[in-house]
Amino acid sequence: MNAQAAILPGDRLHLSHGPIDLIIGCDGARDVAYRAAYARFETVLTELMAELPLLRRPVSTKPVGKIARRMYRAALPHADGLTTPMICVAGAVAEEILAAMVDATDLTRAYVNNGGDIALHLTHGATFKIAVASPDGHNLGTVAITSADPIRGIATSGQRGRSLSLGIADAVTVLARSASMADAAATRLGNAVDLPNHPAIKRVPANSLRDDTDLGSAPVVTHVGRLSQTDVAQALEHGEAAASRMSTAHLIHGTALFLQGQSRTLGLSERMKQIQKDPHPCLTS
């Protein structure tokens, strides 16, 4: 099947091809930007498939394709003998499509949302307000990101998400310099929120669930039972420590970690105050 495109309410563009599903919006020469987005999107899946065996191996050899190189650069700081460039494929695709739009025309604001991994473009004092929700779907408020901020990527990962996870976080949201960096960090932080060998946590080899996984036989979480408040706090502390190391290494600009009704934040204190003051947020772009 070829790449599909449709205009959604609010003049947003929906692009889909195989497992890739994007929602796109922009302020500026929208028609020019959307044509550029679609033209680039048509080649994405073929480009990734050409190097898929390499991208599913632990980070080592630098790939050739443009998107694959974005993945490699974002995954490299997390290389540990298990992490592969696939850790940030969604963020890298979002970045690449956004870059095609920005190269094609002048845009004040633009975003590409790839299943919750979001690449942002902001200029001339423009602002994005991003709705934040707890894992149970309760709206917590909004975070404002301005053109003066270094943040151009947002990603969310966790055990309840669409990807396999080595950790038990209900959700981890990360703000970073790029979408691919946010995607990689969110996955790693979701893995870091964990309680190894806890009897309430069930794990199975990743390849017993998905034949095409890049995680091989690594044990992924399939079930998390009810944990004590002390256990939840300990798991979140593990994630918080990992987030602190990433922040020191300038890999992230902020994160929020969630597990069974508790949360930890790093680098978001002022933004989270803003969230709490907005009782009826809505996703704006």
**Coil/strand/helix, residue 69:** helix
Domain membership flag for residue 282:
no
pLDDT on residue 74: 97
Domain ranges, residue 213: 4-276
Domain membership flag for residue 283:
no
Q: What is the pTM of this model?
A: 0.90
Domain membership flag for residue 285:
no
Cβ-based neighbour number of residue 229 at 10 Å: 10
Domain membership flag for residue 284:
no
pLDDT on residue 261: 87
Domain membership flag for residue 253:
yes
Domain membership flag for residue 174:
yes
pLDDT tens sequence for the chain (285 residues)? 789 999 999 999 999 999 999 999 999 999 999 999 999 999 999 999 999 999 999 999 999 999 999 999 999 999 998 899 999 999 999 999 999 999 999 999 999 999 999 999 999 889 998 776 666 665 656 778 999 999 999 999 988 767 788 999 999 999 999 999 999 999 999 999 999 999 999 999 988 888 878 888 888 899 999 999 999 999 999 999 999 999 999 999 989 899 998 888 887 655 544 544 443 333 333
Q: How many domains does the chain have?
A: 1
* String of DSSP letters for the chain: ---EEEEETTTEEEEEETTEEEEEEEEESHHHHHHHHHHHHHHHHHHHHHTHHHHTSPS-S--SSHHHHHHHHHHGGG-SSS--GGGGHHHHHHHHHHHHHHHHS-EEEEEEEETTEEEEEE-TT-EEEEEEE-TTS-EEEEEEEETTSS--EEEEE-TTSSS--SS--SEEEEEESSHHHHHHHHHHHHHHS--TT-TTEEEEEGGGT-TT-SSTT-EEEEEE----HHHHHHHHHHHHHHHHHHHHTTS-SEEEEEETTEEEEES-HHHHHHHHT-SS-----
Domain membership flag for residue 281:
no
Domain membership flag for residue 78:
yes
Q: Find the CATH number of the domain harbouring 263.
A: 3.10.520.10
